[in-house]
């Protein structure tokens, strides 16, 4: 693994870091939702869940575009649209 990282260009390392950050944000939404639900005593999806989904999805989308991965590009593009739509519906209700 260390040998792999040593062979990366600065551009590759930057996009790898963006991909890992995106994955971290995307995965952390479930941990946040779990802790939030435990605190209030019922299953709820807090608004932060959608923001973590969007920013994590954008990070993964940037990485997927760099890697030219059509599967991840397609999945994250649709996902980001859905997360944004959920925020529109939430704010519309308020």
From its phi and psi, is residue 41 left (phi > 0), alpha (psi between -120 and 50) or beta?
Answer: left
Task: Please report which confidence band the pLDDT of residue 1 belongs to, taking 50, 70 and 90 as the band edges.
Answer: low
Question: pLDDT tens for residues 25-34?
Answer: 999 999 999 9
The reported pLDDT for the residue numbered 5 is 73
Q: Which of 1-10, 54-63, 71-80 has the lowest mean pLDDT?
A: 1-10
Q: What is the average per-residue pLDDT within 57-70?
A: 97
Cβ atoms of residues 30 and 52 within 8 Å: no
Rounded Cα distance between 64 and 40, Å, is 36
Other C-beta atoms within 10 Å of 58: how many? 17
Which ranges of the chain does DSSP label H, i.e. alpha helix? Answer: 2-6, 10-40, 47-67, 70-93
Domain spans of the chain?
25-93
Q: What is the average per-residue pLDDT within 65-70?
A: 97
* Residue 23 main-chain phi, psi, to 5 deg: -65, -40
């Amino acid at each position: 693994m260390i040998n792999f990282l040593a062979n990366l260009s600065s551009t590759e390392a930057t996009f790898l870091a963006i991909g890992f950050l995106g994955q971290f944000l995307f995965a952390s939404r479930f941990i946040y939702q779990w802790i939030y639900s435990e605190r209030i005593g019922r299953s709820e999806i807090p608004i932060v869940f959608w923001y973590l989904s969007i920013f994590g999805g954008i990070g993964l989308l940037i990485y997927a575009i760099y890697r030219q991965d059509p599967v991840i590009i397609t999945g994250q593009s649709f996902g980001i649209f859905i997360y944004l739509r959920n925020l529109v519906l939430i704010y519309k209700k308020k």
